Structure 1
Amino acid sequence: MKMRTIVSMTLFISFILLVVTSIILYIVPHGRVAYWSDWQLWGLTKDQWGNLHINLGFLFLFTGILHIYFNWRPLLAAMKSRARQVIVFTPHFNIALILTLLVCIGTVLKVPPMSTIINLAESIKDQAAEKYGEPPYGHAELSSLKLFARRLGLDMNMAMTLLKQKNISFSGPDQTILDIAEENHLTPKQVYEIIKPALQSSRQKKGLPDIPPPGFGHRSLADICTQYHLDMPKILQSLALKKIIASPKQTIKEIAAANDTDPRVIFTALHDICNR
């Protein structure tokens, strides 16, 4: 068997698989959404697809180096002038370099069409967030039931009663939401849906939290006002006084874009209005 052929075939196969994993990672939901909903594709989780992509990348890199080694002479021949002198910056090399730099610079500066590709990915991920749901806070699935209930203002006793009524097995309040979900073949989101009614019996606190919860920018102003018991007309009027024009159906990101600012600025404005 020829090593050059094996290297070429491995390079080709790893390239094809890298294309597949790249496409999947392009459309995969944000981590907080994927972990919360236990997102999987073809039986593999987000982390598993990421690990595949990394190791395939190393395989592609290793075989690529070997491929260059085995094809060094043809590569040098392509870089030689008519005088048989090796010239790195040949016209072909220059064109390839310029194209690569254009993609890199365009991506950093967010210039179309590079920015369009990134925006499309964000749009797909936003749709996934709407479909699968956002966690109440980052890595909520790793919190113990006790901590989860305290952070969300759930009645702990009622939450455990609700779990028992649904025949959900759990060791106690110190068990994490993720462990409870895995033990009962559920997603963390489904566990939360079971104990969510316990929120109704707990003391509701008005006002926004001190830091933006995950997915805040993707939620509509009306949705936020409903969750945090905010007075919509007052919010709109107060935002207008801050020269921020908004409508209830707009998301925080859309409001920020329409007012040529950052979603964090909108959150700060809302926080000031609610907590003053």
Structure 2
Amino acid sequence: MSMRRIVSLTAFLSFLVTFLTSIILYIVPEGRVAYWADWRLWGLSKEEWGAIHINVGFLFLLSLLLHIYYNWKPIVTYLKNKAKQVSIFTKEFNAALVLTALFVFGTYFGVPPFSTIIHFGKSFKDAAAEKYGEPPYGHAELSSVKTFAKQMNIDLEKGMLLLRQAGYRVDSDAWTLKEIAEQNGVSPQQVFLAMSDAIQTAEQSVGLPEKPAPGAGNLTLADFCTQYHLNVKMIMRSLKDAGITSEADMTIKEIGEANQTGAIEVYEQIRSFADRSNEQ
């Protein structure tokens, strides 16, 4: 067997796998969405695709280093000038260096078309969040039933009863939603839906809730105001007074990004204005 051929073929095959996993990870939903909805592609979860990408990526790098070793003479030839003297900064090397630097700095400064590539991938993630739904809070699937019930204002006893009536095996309220989901072959989201009828409805409070609802950042300002019965023009004016520029068709998240702040800060500003309006 030829070691040189093995190295070259390994580099080629590992490149193909890395290329495939790169595309999948480019379009995969955000972690919070993927874990909540138990997102899978061809039977593999986000974590499993990520693990394959990392390990095969290491194989690709290793085979690439060996490939360079076995092809060192041709590479040195590429670095020779017309006088056949080794010169690192040949025209070809400079072109490769400029091209690489262009991608690095273009991405860093967020200029098109590099920013377009990033935003295009983000559109897949936003679409997935809309399709699969977002958890009530970050990594809710890791919360025990007891903790989750407290966070979501769920009657624990009734919630446990509903889970068992739905046919889910739950030995203890110390089990996390993820553990229940794995034991019963469902997603954490489905576990939540099974016990959602146990949510205790409190009296409708005036103003916005203290914490934004899941997915609020993906709502346009107009839709957000409609949902909470707010005047969009007055909200835009209040944001402007606070130094935040906005448009009705921009999402809360986009408004935050455009003003170099977070979506939660934009929400707090809107909530503050709504509270002041209710007091008047």
Q: So what's the TM-score if we normalise by structure 2?
A: 0.87
Alignment check: 8 A CA contact 2:163 2:195 kept? yes
* Structure 1 position 165 matched with structure 2 position 165: yes
Corresponding residue number in structure 2 for 1:130 = 130
Tell me how far 1:194 sits from its aligned partner: 1.2
Contact 1:239 1:269 (8 Å CA) reproduced:
no
Letter of the aligned partner of 1:242 in structure 2? L
Tell me if the contact between 2:36 and 2:187 (Cα under 8 Å) persists in the aligned partners: yes
What's the CA shift for 1:9?
0.5
What TM-score does the superposition give when structure 1 sets the normalisation length?
0.88
Spell out the pairing of 1:93-242 with structure 2 (5 A cutoff).
93-199=93-199, 201-203=200-202, 206=205, 207-209=208-210, 215-220=215-220, 230=228, 232-233=229-230, 237-242=234-239
Shift of 1:135: 0.4
Name 1:59's counterpart in structure 2: 59
Q: Does the 8 Å CA contact 1:8/1:67 hold for their aligned counterparts?
A: yes
Tell me the C-alpha RMSD between the 2 structures: 2.4
Amino acid corresponding to residue 209 of structure 2 in structure 1: L
Kept after mapping to 2: 8 A contact 1:217/1:251: yes
How many angstroms does 1:21 deviate by? 0.4
Distance 1:125 1:63, change over 3 A: same
Deviations 1:177-218 (A, max 9, x none): 11111111110001111111222x3425744335x5664421
Cα gap change, 1:128/1:156 in structure 2, threshold over 3 Å: closer, same or farther? same
Q: Secondary structure at the match of 1:170?
A: coil
Moved more, 158-167 or 130-139: 158-167
Q: Give the direction of change, closer, same or farther, for the CA distance of 1:198–1:111 in structure 2 (3 Å limit).
A: same
Gaps spanning 5+ residues in structure 1: where? none
CA distance in structure 2 between the partners assigned to 1:174 and 1:223 by the alignment: 38
Change (3 A) 1:250 1:110: closer
Q: Shift of the alpha carbon at 1:84?
A: 2.1
Distance 1:194 1:222, change over 3 A: farther
Q: Distance in 1 between matches of 2:271 and 2:87?
A: 61
Q: Which runs of 4+ in 1 moved over 6 A?
A: none
1:122-155 per-position Cα deviation (integer Å, ceiling 9, x unaligned): 0000001111110001100000001001111112
Counterpart code for 2:202? R
Q: Could you tell which deviates more after superposition, 176-185 or 110-119?
A: 176-185
8 Å CA contact retained: 2:37, 2:133: yes
Match runs of 1:18-97 below 5 Å = 18-97=18-97
2:237 partner letter: A
Closer, same or farther: CA 92–204 of 1 in aligned 2, 3 Å: farther
Runs (5+) with no aligned partner, structure 2? none
Matched AA of 1:180: I
- The CA distance in 1 between the partners of 2:235 and 2:220, in whole Å, is 17
Q: Distance in 2 between the 1:274 and 1:193 partners?
A: 31
Deviation for aligned residue 1:239 = 4.6
User: Residue 233 of structure 1 aligns to a residue in which SS?
Assistant: coil
Distance in 2, matches of 1:221 and 1:136, equals 20
Query: Deviation per CA, 1:41-64, whole angstroms, max 9, x where unpaired?
Result: 111110111011111111111111
Structure 1 residues 83 and 239, CA gap change in structure 2 (3 angstroms): closer
Distance, in Å, in 2 between the alignment partners of 1:144 and 1:204 is: 26
Aligned sequence identity (%) = 46
Q: Displacement of 1:65 after TM fit?
A: 0.7
Query: CA 1:275–1:86 in structure 2 vs 1: closer, same or farther (change >3 Å)?
Result: same
Amino acid at match of 1:240: R
Deviation at 1:169, TM superposition (A): 1.6
Aligned length, in residue pairs: 269
Distance 1:110 1:250, change over 3 A: closer
- What is the alpha-carbon distance in structure 2 between the residues aligned to residue 101 and residue 50 of structure 1? 27
Code of the residue aligned with 1:208 in structure 2: it is P
